[in-house]
Amino acid sequence: MMGTWRRIRRDLVLAATGFQEATIAIAERVHHRVQQVKISMEMSDLERQIKNRQALLGEKTYRKFEAGRSDMDLLSQEPVISDLSREIDALQNQLTLVEERSTEEEPIRVFEHALEESGLLLQHIVIPHQFPWVGKPIQEWNLPTEMRILYVRREKGIEIAHGRTVVEPHDQVTYIGPRRKTHLHKWFWLHSE
């Protein structure tokens, strides 16, 4: 009777953990997409502003040139033209900063794309109290083949996993493995003895 209750309890924990993981994964993807859209919209807006200011600068310069002011050094000192030039420079600097933010995400997108193509799956698990390897270094665990633990998220921060890493209940472990072995990995987290 006690064994049946333990199995039912583990199965419920497995179901709850799966739901939690799915929710976290969906939230992370939505957040990532929202950030991409925001950056794209911000870049488009800045590019549009730069283009409008450059068109206005070209028009003002042409009119001054037509009016007989052909000395470019004097022309660039005209208040309207110098103000437009400064605005264009400031907008260009803003665009550069936004582009840098955009490229910071590039390695993550490349990694996600590589995972999709390779059949590997990045997953998270919150360590349950009954996990038999709590308090023991990863190097002593009997990990399934092809499963690699990448990092452990705790209240105090994130630790890149290595052989001496020890987990405690409520730590979130992120691991990678083949999609075709997902069921074996789930079994490991909740049924290891």
Domain ranges of the chain: 28-104, 119-191
* Residue 160, pLDDT above cutoff 90: yes
Per CATH, domain 119-191 is 2.40.30.10: no
> Of 88, 101, 81, 106, which Cα lies nearest the Cα of 47?
88
The per-residue pLDDT for 151 is 93
Contact between 159 and 173 (Cβ < 8 Å): no
> Of 158, 190, 153, which Cα lies nearest the Cα of 173?
153
Separation CA 141–CA 24 (nearest Å) = 26
The per-residue pLDDT for 169 is 92
* Residue 70, pLDDT above cutoff 70: no
Contact between 44 and 30 (Cβ < 8 Å): no
* Residue 64, pLDDT above cutoff 80: no
Predicted TM-score (pTM) of this structure: 0.48
Please report the DSSP string for 119-180 in residue order: TEEEEEEEPPTT-TTTTSBGGGS-PPTT-EEEEEEETTEEEE--TT-B--TTPEEEEEEEGG
Compute the average pLDDT of residues 85-93. 88
Q: Tokens 């789930």 — which residue?
A: 186
Q: Tokens 């405690």 — which residue?
A: 168
* Residue 145, pLDDT above cutoff 80: yes
Compute the average pLDDT of residues 41-59. 88
The per-residue pLDDT for 59 is 85
Greatest mean pLDDT among 9-18, 53-62, 63-72, 131-140: 131-140
Give 188's pLDDT tier (boundaries 50, 70, 90). Answer: confident
The per-residue pLDDT for 138 is 94
Long-range residue pairs from 63-67, CB within 8 A, at least 24 positions apart, any chain? none
